[in-house]
Structure 1
Amino acid sequence: MPRSLTATPLDEAFLDLRAVSVLSVHLDVRVTGHVDTVRLADALATAAGRHPMARARPAPEAPWSFRAGWVLDGVLGVAVTDSVDDARERLQSELPDDRAVSVVVARDDGGDWILFRFHHAAIDGRGAVRFVATVIDAYAGRELPDDGPHLDRGRDLRRLAGARGLRDVSARAAKIASDAVGRAGITRIAGDGGEDGPHHAFATRRLEPGVVAALRERKPEGSTLNDVLLAAHLRTVLRWNRRHGGCVGRSVSVMMPVDLRGRDDDVVANLASYVAVVVPVGELDDPAAALAAVSAQTRAVKEQGSAGWIVDVLGALPVPRGLKRVSPRLLPLVEGLFVESTILSNLGPVSFGDLGDAGPVREVRFSPPNLSPRMAVTLGVAGHDDGLTLTWRSLRRQVGARGVDAFAEEFLAALHER
């Protein structure tokens, strides 16, 4: 008998965004050898047994119902291809049947790729890493760690991040109001004419350990490496638009995911809140001023716990699902107040074991989805072997493959500018 599960308000928000976006979380793992697909399929089944959201698909729902749900009855399979770039673009550009997880092995003489696609409504970036780690350990025959918290407890948003009192409510309301004011006249990433093809195009760059160490060394006290990346990303949007004759507004904003999990709640699910970092254009011409503006905002988010705003807002009023499902189509009316210029999602250090005979993991790539048709480019960051791998994803019809590659080069120039 298939197991059913009630969707959280956060799950519902992403389920409804399907109307306007392809909500694929992209995670690639490359090994030094060749993957046994039968063994990988067994490992996927083992991991899905321990992490039920990997088997999730949206349950049928009536327009008058007040909560969406999941049915946990999916079966994970493995497809095989010999063209990694084409496979990545096709895999991340579609969500057939709303399966929570899809997997493709791309054969390569330099080492096979295992390409994962996760539906963001079911599993976020950290959940994806946790699931892939279980797959890799199961494939290699290692003893698997504890399953983590019970799924219902691990997905209890009120427990994890609900407002604890008037102080929390005030801080969160102030953050929402400040962001709305800051977004007035927001800058949108200019298109380059785009091109036909799969919905998404990708570009990847690697920051080697020495480069990362130098960035850490030169950042001012009180700023994080993530702040450095955020500031460079915001400045890239401005530089890109100026080079391409795009409109430059009063501010540029980046959506930054914030993990709602507790330190011990390593559950595979969708538990990513989002906060805005909004910087006036006048502060983005100078690298130091841009970094100071970003650092001040990210510090305030951490100190005030304002990332929990999404729990309070989404769970505030019972609204029939029929109304919720049409709400994303109203985004063009309000996106100036609620939709950022872009996203930067940083997984932090990602450490996987080896895959037995298939060898150690030599590369990890990650990118977040474009949550709105107005977010032409997003950036994902994954730490591996003391370096950073950066992957940009674009909406191909707005910014094509050559364009997103040029955007990546623009970012590197902004990152190293003093």
Structure 2
Amino acid sequence: MKTRYPLSVTDELFLHLEKPDEPMSLQLEIRFSGRIDEKQLEVAAYSAMRMHPLASVRQHRTKGGDGYEWETVDRPDEDPVLTVVCDDAAALDAARNEFYSRRLLLESAPPFRFLVAHLDGGDWLFLKMSHAVTDAFGAYRFLQSVLRRYAGVNDTQPDDVDIIPARNLSREFGAKSLSERIRRATGLLGYLMESVQLPTRIAPHFAEDKAGVSFVSHTFPIADTDALAVLRKGSATLNDVLAALLHLTIARWNDSRKESSGRITLMNAMNLRPITWQQEGVGNMSLWVNVTTTETERRHYERTLASITEQTRKIKTRETAGLLVDLLDMTQLLPTKLRKALTQLMPLTGNFVVDTSVLNNLGRVPDLPDPAGKTGRITAIRFSPPTNMPMGVAVGAVTLRGELTVTFRYRLAQFDRHAAEAFCDQFVGLTNELVGAAQGTSD
């Protein structure tokens, strides 16, 4: 039996942000030491779809024809599992880039695809999931469900998880009275005034005038991941450290190419799931917020980190979440066509006009089961959020089994492969430089 769910405000904004040649899909990848059984994976995917209702939906026009809603299906319209055989690493990269550069047609279910890439030395499993359906935390939870079923491991979630109504963030965070709305309006005005200032753009290098994305990743071994703790000062989190490193990397990259790097602003995802199920639920339960630095604040790492830490401290308050939810609710008062146009100017869902780049850190994620048998064990993980030009670089971070992996997703209109590798190397080099200096100081 078909069930229909309303699009949340965040669902709708991501739906409108997507362009035919710039998909708004999340990247999650796992590598195994052995070979993946596609049939077994397909069975696991079907089972996981029954647990997570938004993993089995398609886009459906509302009765008035002016908007959309999600409609569940009993059987997918499209095969959720695809397969490719790769002869070498170059063929694997080509398959990955082509897979993630293609848009998911949400008129057909499901709103995700798996690609099994067979490769000597161990298969890769690519998951592409629409950001109109879920945020990155939800995409990881869905991947976890699929792999638990594939490995024959029990998969449960807390009894109070009810993602469908929870996506209506205004119930929890919206203003509850007229006086509260008036008080928040002052803060909202200041937020919007800050957001409309033009940002620094990452200097393109050997870019091509064509659509598509590609990826470069770096994994910090356990010892190097642990060593990042020396870069945390005061109440700073690892996410604050990564944001500071990315701000400084962008500034160095631009300076070396004689491009300006004044106001740098990053989009960061704020997970608004209830504390009792922070890593549960497939759906959009995050808001995007801006973290900004000036040239003066980037003169020293400690000053950069202090500025970012103070901004994120304020962002994490309930008041800020409420302010952003109120802004989202305001857009619902507009006609659909105006709402679609407004998404290009929304600072909290992907403002590609006023942000330099995006950083989405999944943090230390719950472990994934090793399937064993012919599939073997998990040997690598990668994750990145989507991005559109002119914000040509998006950075995803995830820590699994003590190792931090940072993935740089770049538009082909921003970098070629060599430039992307150089940008990644600059980030890693800066990180090692600062860690070495901090360890030398503490000795």
For 2:251, the aligned partner's letter is: L
In 1, are the aligned partners of 2:31 and 2:122 still within 8 Å (CA)?
yes
- The equivalent of 1:24 in structure 2 is 25
Name the counterpart of 2:157: 146
Find the counterpart in structure 1 of residue 437 from structure 2.
none
Q: Would you say the 8 A contact 1:10–1:311 is kept in 2? A: no
Alignment of 1:349-368 (within 5 A): 349-350=364-365, 351-357=367-373, 358-368=375-385
Partner Cα distance (2:59, 2:29) in 1: 25
Of the candidates 120, 130, 136, which is equivalent to residue 119 of structure 1? 130
- Correspondences of 1:68-217 after superposition (within 5 Å): 68-73=68-73, 74-75=76-77, 76-81=79-84, 82=86, 83-98=91-106, 99-146=110-157, 149-163=161-175, 170=183, 173-174=186-187, 177-178=190-191, 180-181=193-194, 184-195=197-208, 199-217=212-230
> Which deviates the most, 321-330 or 344-353?
321-330
Say how many residue pairs are matched.
413
- Which segment drifts farther, 267-276 or 309-318? 309-318
Offset, 1:184 = 2.8
Distance 2:195 2:342 in 1: 23
2:308 corresponds to 1:294: yes
- Counterpart residue number, 1:406: 422
Conserved 8 A contact 1:124-1:270: yes
Partners in 1 of 2:376 and 2:214 — Cα distance?
29
1:260 to 266, 272, 275: 272
Preserved CA contact (<8 Å) 1:53 1:122: yes
Specify the code of the residue in structure 1 equivalent to 2:99. Answer: L
Query: Which moved further from structure 2: 360-369 or 89-98?
Result: 89-98
* Percent of residue pairs identical: 28
- d(CA) in 1 for partners of 2:153, 2:104: 32
Please list every run of 5 or more consecutive structure 2 residues that lacks an aligned counterpart in the other structure.
Answer: 435-443
Shift in Å, 1:353: 1.1
Q: Distance in 2 between matches of 1:326 and 1:86?
A: 33
Q: Within 2, Cα distance between the matches of 1:247 and 1:121?
A: 34
Residues 31-62 of structure 1: per-residue CA shift (max 9 Å, x gap) = 12111100000000000111111122221358
Distance, in Å, in 1 between the alignment partners of 2:31 and 2:196 is: 39
Residue 323 of structure 1 is aligned with which of 303, 313, 338?
A: 338
Q: For residues 327-351 of structure 1, what are the alpha-carbon distances to aligned partners after superposition, in whole Å with 9 as ceiling and x for unaligned?
A: 44678xxx99962111110001122
Bigger drift between 313-322 and 47-56 goes to 313-322
Change (3 A) 1:263 1:345: same
What's the offset of the Cα at 1:147?
7.1
Give the counterpart of 2:397 among 372, 381, 387. Answer: 381
Q: CA RMSD in A?
A: 2.6
Query: Do 1:93 and 1:199's aligned partners in 2 also have CA atoms closer than 8 Å?
Result: yes
Alignment CA distance shift 1:367-1:169 (3 Å): farther
Q: What is the aligned partner in structure 1 of residue 441 from structure 2? A: none
1:276 matched to which residue of 2?
Answer: 290
1:241 corresponds in structure 2 to: 254
Q: SS of the counterpart of 2:199?
A: coil
Structure 1 portions without partners, runs of 5+: none
